């Protein structure tokens, strides 16, 4: 079992605020880091799959960075909207196995 930690556990911001969360994972044997967005009563949907140290990916107002040497990834949301309210999951894959190891998620609530 590989330890993947996400912080904060939950976050409440106002519409228009920018926010970010952290995913920490083992810095050795890195293969890939996934980010998923999980809305209530739906199933998780992929945001990013990141494989290279220094990778930065962007999708609309959401972006992510990756530091494999120190074992962390940041997810940023610029100008949060109520529809961004969801749980954001990160998942780590090592190069010694096939499993995605999921963190417990960061629950984001954006209020108007």
Partner 1 sequence: NAGVTQTPKFQVLKTGQSMTLQCAQDMNHNSMYWYRQDPGMGLRLIYYSASEGTTDKGEVPNGYNVSRLNKREFSLRLESAAPSQTSVYFCASSEAIRESYEQYFGPGTRLTVT
Query: What is the nearest approach in angstroms of partner 1 to the Cβ of residue 70?
Result: 20
Residue of 84, 108, 82 lying closest to 10 (CA atoms)? 108
C-alpha–C-alpha distance, residues 82 and 16, integer Å:
9
What distances in angstroms separate CA 76 from CA 60, 62, 85, 88, 95, one per listed residue? 11, 6, 13, 11, 26
Which residue in 14, 27, 51, 111 binds partner 1 (CB under 8 A)?
51
Residue 7 near partner 1 by CB under 8 A = no
Contact status, residue 5 vs residue 101, Cβ threshold 8 Å? no
Which residue in 66, 77, 89, 108 binds partner 1 (CB under 8 A)?
89
Residue 96 near partner 1 by CB under 8 A = no
Query: What is the nearest approach in angstroms of partner 1 to the Cβ of residue 20?
Result: 20
Q: Which residues here bind partner 1, judged by CB under 8 A?
A: 1, 4, 31-32, 34, 42-46, 49, 51, 89, 91, 98-105
């Amino acid at each position: 079992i590989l330890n993947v930690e996400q912080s904060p556990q939950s976050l409440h911001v106002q519409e228009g605020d920018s926010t970010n969360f952290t995913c920490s994972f083992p810095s050795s044997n890195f293969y890939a880091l996934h980010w998923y967005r999980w809305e209530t009563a739906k199933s998780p949907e992929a945001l990013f799959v990141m494989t290279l140290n220094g990778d930065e990916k962007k999708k609309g107002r959401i972006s992510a960075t990756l530091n494999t040497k120190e074992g962390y990834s940041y997810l940023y949301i610029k100008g949060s909207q109520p529809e961004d309210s969801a749980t954001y999951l990160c998942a780590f894959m090592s190069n010694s196995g096939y499993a995605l190891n999921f963190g417990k998620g960061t629950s984001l609530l954006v209020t108007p």
